Amino acid sequence: MQLRQTNLRKLPEAEFDVLVIGAGINGASAAAALSGKGARVALIDRGDFAGSTSMHSSNLVWGGIKYMESGDFALVRKLCKSRNHLIRSYPSTVQEIRFLTTINKGFRHHPLYPWVGTWLYWLMGSGFTRRPHFLRASDIKAREPIIDTGDALGGFEYSDAYLHDNDARFVFNFVRGALDFGAVAANYVESLGSRREGELWVTRVRDVIDGDTFEVRSKVLINAAGPWVDQHNDLSGQQTEHRHVFSKGIHLIVPRLTEHRRVLAFFADDGRLFFVIPMGARTCIGTTDTRVDSPEVEVTDDDIQFVLDNINKRLALDAPLGTADIIATRCGVRPLAVKPSSGGERDFLNLSRKHAIDIDREARHLSIFGGKLTDCLNVGEEVVEAVERLGVAMPHPDYRWYGEPAASLRETFMHQARLMDLDTMTAAHASEPLSLRLWRRYGTQALEVLEDIRQDPRQGEVLIAGTEYLRGELKLTRRREMVTRLEDFLRRRSKISLVVPQDTIRTSPGLREACDILFGDQAQMRMDEYFADAPSPVDERLGEGT
């Protein structure tokens, strides 16, 4: 809480080069890019960082193979290059994974047709990943026995990538990077609207936690409010070329369905891709694609039944999945950028997630529409170029603002971890060695956790039953990650509430100590607040978000 309070005091005191409103993937990457190159940046979000669309993804980093069918090859090529760039830049976090796709009888194409498409996809991705393979039905069954191949004509296997942790954690690390570069960032700070005063934007904001209001001044204003971009532009009197239409998507988290670390892909009854995605000791299945008029959405019984029906039709499980198997749900909207003149109704299911940045040069205002995790580095670079054209100098234009720390720093950490036999402390249920996990989550800051464990071995103990979080990690989280509410930690800095049942979390003997570490004398209040608002597994609603 101290970090947030310090930043709240700074917001009204300075004149910033740029204020970014919204800390989803677009706002977080923009803030990291601008601050890394030397701009004075403020970043606010009316909820927690990554509290909306950016925490409800499929955790996939992919080149958009589905856009091949609609002929949007330029977008596919761009996204493939972005995927490759992320794999190179974040080798511990963004990792290649195989996709096994089954084609059943009645599909609109013979499996050889999309298989040829995977080769074109591989070539458009510069052959960066492993090559695709055509599979007969018997090959599919041999690779993945849980697939029902009774109606299968064949299939294929190809590669894309996924996030080893979770999407919200990936986004937060951009926010943390911006803070390290000198940005001032605060969650739970809502913009009430912005106005021009001379050469500056003046944005009236409210601290959602205590209700205080104050003003933030900036030369440039960036509206990165995700699904709420149009709403904030109305508050600030901005006219834009693009607008958003919304598609609701849900995922169900269930016990692990297969031991194999690959994504199973099918074509659902509505014709769109449908995934079974590994999530450590769990499996994530979905998604839906439902046109909605508002970004405020919730999981419905129909949504759940659609996912369950589709998965049970395609897998040969010992017993069909039912609502009792659901550990958690994810539910959010995809904001899709369209031009009003083009009409948002045409080919809705084929609308892409490509981003658009509308610029009002006279007012020095940017609006970011659409976007996805895969394209985040492009968004950051494009925002920097646009802000430079609006007259804001970048003192360090060539600075590389993204990526994991240098290999030499990683080796320093790993050497220290080996010297103290850190990996022997890995919990029996853990999905990977402790050293790899700490490095991926915290980079060079993981050295602080090592030091705490050296001084007190208890800091290396798992604190909350059924999770992979150590007591020492909680101390680092308190210092550096601006956890304001318990949900911020359980759902976004970690994925605990996605993979651990609520009853297990509630009764964990270490939960109260975790809250004591994170919130001090507010521990009981934050626990009561969380369990009063915590959704049931089949009723997780979209958060306040950006």
13/2 Cα distance (integer angstroms) = 18
pLDDT of res. 165: 86
How are beta strands 282-286 and 273-279 bridged, if at all? Answer: antiparallel
pLDDT of res. 283: 96
420/413 Cα distance (integer angstroms) = 11
Six-digit token string for 501:
């049942």
pLDDT of res. 467: 85
Q: Which residues of 384-405 are buried (b: 16+ CB within 10 A; e: fewer)?
A: bebbeebebebeeeeeebbebe
pLDDT of res. 110: 86
Contacts with 385 (C-beta within 8 Å, 6 or more apart), sequence order = none
226/265 Cα distance (integer angstroms) = 28
Six-digit token string for 499:
């993979």
499/502 Cα distance (integer angstroms) = 9
pLDDT of res. 491: 96
pLDDT of res. 37: 98
SS3 504: helix
Dihedral, CA of residue 108, residue 112, residue 117 and residue 121, to nearest 10: 130
- In tens, the pLDDT along 430-473 reads 888 999 999 999 999 999 999 999 999 999 998 887 788 999 99
SS3 199: coil
pTM of the model: 0.94
User: What residues in the chain have per-residue pLDDT under 50?
Assistant: 344-346, 539-546
